[in-house]
Amino acid sequence: MRASAGIPSLGAVPSPASRVLVVADAHLGQVPPAVATAFHRFLDAVPDLGDALVINGDLFDFWFEYGSVIPRRHFGTVAKLHTLRSRGIPITFVGGNHDRWGGDFLIHDLGIAFYPGEAEVDLAGRRAFVAHGDGLTEQHWSAQLMHRVTRHPATIRVFRMLHPDLGFWVAHKLSRRLADNTRDKAVLDRAERAQAQYAEQLLGRRPDLELAILAHTHRPALIQLPNRRAYLNPGAFLDGGRYAVVTRDSVELKQF
């Protein structure tokens, strides 16, 4: 993957009063069409809602870039993202366990600042640690397995050897199976608590950070800490259009 040289990132957002929208976990491609329609309406509204967009993982239920092939089913979303970038809206995309296999297309064709793992960026004048959250506080074996698989170099090599139709078919079957295994409420409750603890500990040992932003659990969370610091999980967009807005002086959970 080449570095995103020359691509505007959130560090380029000019005003401390800028409104940065944070969204995660839409899982497009595995959710009902109504969710994709709602997300496209959200993207259309982004210029009115904020000045920059952060996508914190699992926008797509599966994304993989071959040398000359991208997932056809996501063409509509890609077109909306391209329109946003054409209007000058900076977009930062931190990959999740379902879509961290981005690369040249997202970076060079769409002009998105893409990070396959965690990133540290400036959001509305506040230094933020942004990560989808998989692998940090996993509470179920299937989530731990998927985290290891999606990050292993051998997985990428194997997928590149498969015909795209076969690769995408396998990925969607695997994704559906793992999702069925991680809907236990007790597991999600533990993950939510562990994630909040992780974020608070991170902010405690990193005085240079003002925000810790995670996703993955599909549980919205906002914990305000001393010295204008905060832990944020915007929740899952697939669950009623959840997102968040970050400004220099505030963090808010919203629903579209």
Q: What is the pLDDT of residues 108-145, one digit of tens each?
A: 999 999 999 899 999 999 999 999 998 786 655 666 66
pTM recorded for the entire structure: 0.85
The total of structural domains in the chain comes to 1
Helices within the chain (DSSP H only): 33-49, 75-86, 104, 141-151, 153-161, 164-180, 185-205
Residue 235 CA to chain centroid, in angstroms?
11
Tell me whether residue 178 is in a domain. yes
Task: Give the domain range for residue 93.
Answer: 15-255
Task: Give a yes or no: residue 5 inside a domain.
Answer: no
The pLDDT of residue 16: 46
Residue 4 lies in a domain: no
Tell me what the mean pLDDT of segment 25-42 comes to: 96
The contacts of residue 102 (CB under 8 Å, 6+ apart) are 63, 65, 93, 95, 114, 116
**189 band by pLDDT with thresholds 50, 70 and 90:** confident
Per-residue DSSP letter, 48: H
Residue 52, classed as helix, strand or coil, is strand
Flag whether 1 is in a domain: no
Flag whether 229 is in a domain.
yes
2 found inside a domain: no
> Looking at the domain assignment, is residue 9 inside a domain?
no
DSSP 79-146: HHHHHHHHTT--EEEE--TTT-B--HIIIIIS--EEESS-EEEEETTEEEEE---TTTS--SHHHHHH
Q: Tens of pLDDT along 195-222? A: 999 999 999 999 999 999 999 999 999 9
Task: For residues 212 and 196, give the distance between their C-alpha atoms in angstroms, rounded to a whole number.
Answer: 9
Is residue 6 included in any domain, yes or no? Answer: no
pLDDT score recorded for residue 139: 54
CATH number of the domain that residue 23 is part of: 3.60.21.10
